Amino acid sequence: MRTLAVLTLTFLSLSGQPAAYRGDWTADSRITWRDDDGEPRVQFNLRSNAGDNRWGFGVKLRDLAGLPSSALSNTADNIQFAWTREAGVFRFSGSFDQGRGNGTYTFTPDASFISNIGAAGYRALSTDDVVRLAVVDVTVAHVRGLSQAGYTTLPLDDVIRTRIHRVTPEFIRDLAAVGYKGIVVDDLVRMGIHGATPANIKALQAAGIRGSSVEDLIKFRIHKVTPDYIKGLRDVGFVTVSEEQLVRMKIHKVDAQFIRDARADGLGCRRPATRSTSPSTALAGASAASDRGRVAQRHRGRALHFGARKNAPSAHRLYTSTLGTPNPSVQYPPAVRFSTGRLSSSASESRATAMPLRIASDGRPR
């Protein structure tokens, strides 16, 4: 929801002092959302007088000083309100009708901000620069904090990205405290985007995951490999599983409950002995009850990959393999049935396209 357009404007008046910038605005109070702080935002869109520079952003309702409450649901004419940032002030005038607003605005930079940000290493800022700093609320304290954390005179685009994605000086210091120092800005931003926070890392470390790369931490967040998920696997014997294997297991919905259900259906899931043991190999070490014979640990030299069908009764569960034909040299239980198909690269499609092995508790094919 944080989208910015690039401006290409001229900013200094003939006297050398910052001059006000003018343009048109529209807003729609019916389009709202809440950020992590829980406060509602209203969508605002600004356009330059020339009409060739546009950008949009969300504004907290409480930050719009002077906006009457009637503007959000009824009709309000000839209204004036302001949005103050450290970099300057946006002043709006116009009207609202049933939550939709439009009018004109001015943006006046704050002279002390221009001076202080210049002293921090960012001099001769253009109108484009100052307006962008205002929209995302880059403060002098944020810039100084980044410098104190070891990130001095970053490109202005990087400063803006750190502010948008909450890569604060405190965030950087807390990362260092859990062992992640000197992270490049691109990785810091990705960690901020995906929520690979110091608190999240500390919880993973408490679950036994230490020394992970930034890439693995981000993958954990993307695929929801949580400390609780890891603990659940450890509880069923999967203690020494690598970060890559944890991600693969989560993608294919192999969790502690699936392993318990597989064992209940007569498949013995072998516990991996080392971190180099593939979880798919461990799951491939599956055997039916003694009266059903041995299920292949390997299928044509490759491990079987199993996935569970949601809401399947425990007596009749669906397991899937990446291969489309059975190994003729393997004796399968009588209740195992193969059909052609190949596992899709998309986890969401895998159960629809994979080869099913249906195992009924009574030993009869289904």
pLDDT in tens, 153-210: 899 999 999 999 999 999 999 999 999 999 999 999 999 999 999 999 999 999 999 9
Q: What is the pLDDT of residues 326-344, one digit of tens each?
A: 445 444 444 444 443 333 3
For residue 281, the model assigns a pLDDT of 39
Instruction: Using the predicted structure, report yes or no on whether residue 310 has a pLDDT greater than 80.
Output: no
For residue 294, the model assigns a pLDDT of 30
For residue 348, the model assigns a pLDDT of 36
Specify the higher pLDDT residue, 13 or 18: 18
For residue 51, the model assigns a pLDDT of 61
For residue 41, the model assigns a pLDDT of 87
Neighbouring C-beta atoms of residue 82, cutoff 10 Å: 16
Task: Please give the Cα distance from 56 to 68 (Å, whole number).
Answer: 22
How confident is the model over 239-262, as a mean pLDDT?
91
Residue appearing with tokens 């290409």: 8
Lowest-confidence segment of 136-145, 186-195, 347-356 by average pLDDT: 347-356
For residue 284, the model assigns a pLDDT of 36
Specify the higher pLDDT residue, 289 or 113: 113
User: Which long-range CB contacts under 8 A does 143-148 form with residues at least 24 apart?
Assistant: 143/117, 144/120, 145/169, 145/170, 146/172, 147/120, 147/121
Closest alpha carbon to 251 in 320, 199, 202: 320
How confident is the model over 201-221, as a mean pLDDT?
95
Neighbouring C-beta atoms of residue 326, cutoff 10 Å: 17
Instruction: Using the predicted structure, report yes or no on whether residue 222 has a pLDDT greater than 90.
Output: yes
Mean pLDDT for the chain overall: 74
Q: What is the pTM of this model?
A: 0.69
Q: pLDDT-based confidence at 19, cuts 50/70/90?
A: low
Task: Please give the Cα distance from 251 to 248 (Å, whole number).
Answer: 5
Task: Please give the Cα distance from 155 to 233 (Å, whole number).
Answer: 44
For residue 35, the model assigns a pLDDT of 78
Distances (CA, A) of 78 to 68, 95, 98, 267, 269: 11, 6, 15, 73, 72
For residue 124, the model assigns a pLDDT of 87
For residue 154, the model assigns a pLDDT of 94
How confident is the model over 315-328, as a mean pLDDT?
38
Rounded to the nearest 5 percent, the helix, strand and coil shares of the chain are 35, 20, 45
Is the distance from CB of 308 to CB of 258 less than 8 angstroms? Answer: yes
How confident is the model over 12-28, as a mean pLDDT?
67
Distances (CA, A) of 117 to 18, 110, 157, 166, 247: 14, 11, 15, 19, 43
**Is residue 216 helix, strand or coil?**
helix
